[in-house]
Structure 1
């Protein structure tokens, strides 16, 4: 086959391939089917090898070599830097994952909220310390008395006496993220572990609220928890969602093996538990550096309400209209196709 005949035979395919590369280089890959790009790339590589071997001339070799270089850069380019990926995760991937698993969100929320509300209401109508003590224990009741026994900035005074804001921030991270991961890990027990920890924490927080209203200062309690409660409680529920996803992967493998189903469920749950950990980190920062400050109660309440609204709007609206990790999935798909070949 002569060089001109070879070029005429493949010119249309090269032109289509080049148009695809140009579109991808401009960042307009959403409307393209990139699944055929690896095979086209291999064909162009083969064409370049034949052109060189058969000595079809420098212009054709340079043209094909340029197409190969451009294709290689597109296929093997990174999905983005660390900060870009983190921003993408916060702005799109995490809230989209929460909305995608809306059924699990309902189950986890009810598993936590219903025991909390039920136990708290029981404390309001039957303020009997015997059952509250059975839930909290005398040590926890003593700690609540120490922190919320009066409304005269007792928490701020204790903070200055026993530890710095930074040390309390570290303590809250250790404690709260530990709770989230226990809820998450419990999902491996066929969802029962996650449900147990959600219900248990609901009962515990309900008993705390009941005891505060019975024996402590509600002002001291609510001004302290107003700022960080939104991030902390929502993160706990989302950790429960992640655990339930793990459990469902084990319970309902479908046509997959249980091992494969569990691995896939782990991948789906990863954005949820990472997002929950990030929200818990924010809650710990607020709790460590803001919640104990001796500020006007109305200011703390206003900030707390505003943060609840921000959390709901963020999880409900962030990432709408954007595909989850488009660039990352785009790069991984093409690399996987090349590896298979």
Structure 2
């Protein structure tokens, strides 16, 4: 076959493959998620075959060098070693996790409503009817909360324990709450609804009671910073649980088993990201939130920055990859 006809037959395929290789070299993540990535091994084999034909037939140096360059680039991409685990974890937290949260935004909005609406309602209710707090907490529990948030305390939100010990306690407590919220979603979503609403009632009742007795300022100074990570993580874990329950009820066009496997994989990734957020929240809660000596400007200013950071991260993280695909 003459060179002109050979090039005319395959030039479009080469150009398409070269364009994809350029994209993969610049932005590996988006390229590897594109439909063309699935066809790349077969396209690479055809390219190698074209190169062998061009060499065997004595085609011009221009054609053979072009094919050789493309083959070399494809070989580096196809056989390069996988990224280190820490790098894959970082990429997931920076970009993959926020994309998943946005992908499941309906469940996230529902979870946020289930947490915050009961919290607001019970907060107002306790301010109007203070005795309502005793229907949620025992007298001993309320006394303990009052001791924890007494304005005279050097450390807000706790009565004993070192910062490091409380850091470990907060991790265990918060992660346990998040995973109960997620795991209970498998009970047709009812469990996740219950856990979210219950946490909202507890939060609203506690905030209302402390505000009623004049301890509202220490309470808000304690929770406002780490809540950016902690409450958002609980909402995400709840949204993942709701996703499981809704998939069990309405699997769509997939078989229920296949749909549950996919929902479980998505939910597990969301729960993993929520776990990372809760570790950060525990660190802030133990080493920053509890310090009573910091001025209000520093406390609320840092909290505002943390809320802005979390919001920007979840709304914009991985957005460039979304636009590229």
Counterparts of 2:262 and 2:224 in 1: how far apart (Å)?
37
Checking the alignment, whether the CA contact within 8 Å between 1:145 and 1:216 is kept in structure 2 is: no
Alignment deviations for residues 88-124 of structure 1 (CA, whole Å, 9 cap, x no partner): 2233222222222221122111111111111111100
In the alignment, structure 2 segments of 5+ residues that lack a partner are: none
Counterparts of 2:117 and 2:90 in 1: how far apart (Å)?
34
Checking the alignment, whether the CA contact within 8 Å between 2:148 and 2:157 is kept in structure 1 is: no
1:143 equivalenced with 2:144 (yes/no): yes
Alignment deviations for residues 237-257 of structure 1 (CA, whole Å, 9 cap, x no partner): 111111111112211112322
Q: Which moved more, 1:27-36 or 1:117-126?
A: 27-36
Give the secondary structure class of the aligned counterpart of 1:243.
helix
Checking the alignment, whether the CA contact within 8 Å between 2:181 and 2:195 is kept in structure 1 is: yes
Equivalent in the alignment of 1:335:
none
In the alignment, structure 1 segments of 5+ residues that lack a partner are: 327-341
Checking the alignment, whether the CA contact within 8 Å between 1:93 and 1:325 is kept in structure 2 is: no
Equivalences, count: 314
The 1:243/1:43 distance shift into structure 2, 3 A limit, reads same
Kindly state the Cα deviation for residue 171 of structure 1 after the two structures are TM-superposed: 0.6
Q: Which moved more, 1:40-49 or 1:274-283?
A: 40-49
Equivalent in the alignment of 1:338:
none
Equivalent in the alignment of 2:171:
173
Checking the alignment, whether the CA contact within 8 Å between 1:239 and 1:272 is kept in structure 2 is: yes
Equivalent in the alignment of 1:123:
126
- How large is the RMSD of aligned CA atoms in angstroms? 3.3
1:81 equivalenced with 2:84 (yes/no): yes
Equivalent in the alignment of 2:298:
299
Counterparts of 2:133 and 2:324 in 1: how far apart (Å)?
47
Checking the alignment, whether the CA contact within 8 Å between 2:156 and 2:289 is kept in structure 1 is: no
Alignment deviations for residues 218-269 of structure 1 (CA, whole Å, 9 cap, x no partner): 2222221122122111111111111111112211112322110001112332
Equivalent in the alignment of 2:253:
255
Equivalent in the alignment of 1:323:
322
Question: Which of 204, 207, 229 is equivalent to 2:205?
Answer: 207
Give the secondary structure class of the aligned counterpart of 1:155.
coil
Equivalent in the alignment of 1:219:
217
Counterparts of 2:38 and 2:78 in 1: how far apart (Å)?
11
Counterparts of 2:257 and 2:272 in 1: how far apart (Å)?
22
Checking the alignment, whether the CA contact within 8 Å between 1:93 and 1:324 is kept in structure 2 is: no
Counterparts of 2:3 and 2:172 in 1: how far apart (Å)?
66
Alignment of 1:243-282 (within 5 A): 243-282=241-280
After TM superposition, the score normalised by the length of structure 1 is 0.78
Checking the alignment, whether the CA contact within 8 Å between 2:156 and 2:222 is kept in structure 1 is: no
After TM superposition, the score normalised by the length of structure 2 is 0.82
